[in-house]
Amino acid sequence: MKQKSGIVAISGQPNVGKSTMLNGFLGEKVAIISKKPETTRDNIRGIFTEKGCQIIFVDTPGIHKPHDLLGKVMLSRAQSTLMESEIVLFVTEKRLAFNKDDENIFHRLPDPKKDQKVIFVINKIDKVKDKKLLLPLMEKAAKLYPFDEIIPICALKQEDLDRLLEVIKSYLPEGPLLYPEDQLTDKTERFLIREIIREKVLNQTWEEVPHSVAVAIDDWSEDEKTGILNIYATVYVERASQKAIVIGKKGEMMKRIGTHARPEIEELLGRHIYLNLWVKVHEKWKKDPLALREMGYTE
């Protein structure tokens, strides 16, 4: 059997289910998930390997008009992944399809003359009672770009993901394994821990906070007596009012965030941890090149 491998970019507007798709393909949680738009800030590679096949799925930041330096970095990373991949999944949903943001993505898709495959994926079709309503959307998509496939799915249903996975495999080029067979992602444990903590902040707080939050791992060390790993992390926000929200009355919100994050981090590392969280204000950090580098968003 000839070996097939390739990079598959999962692209689209924020909050269309890209991270849910990635985790579903892998059967493991690699990308954090939140109902808040623009949750994904970095290209996250999830590596799917089976006999004769390796697919490197790349969950890209949602493509949107950037409002600050962080937004520009996110857009640049998403765009570069579109260009370097063998297959692009352009993910949308019926509720969002073909507004100005979707039209902006059409202009960023690979040149049809290039040897890249582009699949139009309509997600969240479980929310569409009459599936006939998808037909006009599919017809319009076919007129706007010469997609290799147009596939409606619900990313929460494994049978839909399996069906899409078979289509992706059929377009994969021949090539060697790019990663070891047992590797699940290219991200470090520190990156994944930061993301777990940020996910809990996103899901426990409300509108004012999510887009202003970043997490940095300050230190971690093992207690020689107990063997417990001590992890010290800082949650950054942009304003004092946001700091008060994240801490909560008598520190209750911060305790809740830690309580939800700790079990996932322990499962990731396979050991007991002590998680120490602090909250600091860093005004306009999303516009500060030095801050973005310190928080791991730029090289």
- What pLDDT, in 10s, does the model give residues 27-52? 988 887 777 666 776 778 899 999 88
239/296 Cα distance (integer angstroms) = 20
Reference 115, options 242, 6, 2; nearest CA is 6
Same domain, 66 and 119: yes
Mean pLDDT of 87-111: 79
Same domain, 161 and 240: no
Alpha-carbon distances of 214 from 5, 99, 196, 201, 236, rounded to whole Å: 34, 29, 11, 9, 5
The predicted-structure confidence for 126-160, as pLDDT tens digits, reads as follows 888 888 888 888 898 898 899 999 999 999 999 99
Q: Is residue 299 part of a domain?
A: no
For 165, the domain range is 4-171
Same domain, 141 and 36: yes
pLDDT for 205 equals 85
Mean pLDDT of 66-70: 72
Same domain, 246 and 280: yes
pLDDT for 230 equals 96
Q: Is residue 182 part of a domain?
A: no
Number of domains, the chain: 2
pLDDT for 132 equals 84
Residue 169 has pLDDT above 80, yes or no: yes
